[in-house]
Structure 1
Amino acid sequence: MPVMHFHVRWPDASETRCYSPSRVVQDFLEPGERYGLDDFLRRTREALGIASERVRARYGFACSQAMDQLAEIERIALRFADVANAEVTVVAFD
């Protein structure tokens, strides 16, 4: 499967390099776009869920690394849950 990474910038200007076991993330996120925090979480949950299921279809087991990445994204996002109009920017894919 074509592994990819996507870089995001959080509301405090910190950045995270995120993992996906599939390029399906490109169907949900666009480099240079800013997403409201809830929208970003919804998109990454769906994208990483699909990516994990693609691994399951091919290898017979879900991708734990994709689910670990989602857990990290959700953990970081909690820091901004009370920030009005918090946005996450997708910086790049690689």
Structure 2
Amino acid sequence: MEFRKIIEQTDRYDIVQWEFQGMPITFRLWKDGSGIIEIKVDKYFAIANGYKSVSDMAEKTIGQAKFNEVFGGVPEWIRTDAEGNFMFVGMNPILFN
């Protein structure tokens, strides 16, 4: 991957883009000392991981219905760890107002 640009910088995080096989992959790097790195779930993320689109990725992983049940839809960001594993995080829709 090759660094592309800084999208946004706040006191809490930086959002940056790197280029992977000609596609912009967007990362959110948290500054709270947790080391949390998140990747924006968009068409480029889906394609980079072998899917045709975000909806294709949702259906071929746990299914759109399960994403809707657990997260209220496909979350905008996915966490990654040092080993390259992905974890979706979000709020249970039952807790929404």
Structure 1 length normalisation: TM-score? Answer: 0.26
Which has a greater percent of strand?
Answer: 2
State the structure with more CA Rg. Answer: 2
Specify which structure has the bigger relative contact order, considering alpha-carbon pairs within 8 angstroms and separated by 6 or more residues. 1
Which has a greater percent of helix?
Answer: 1
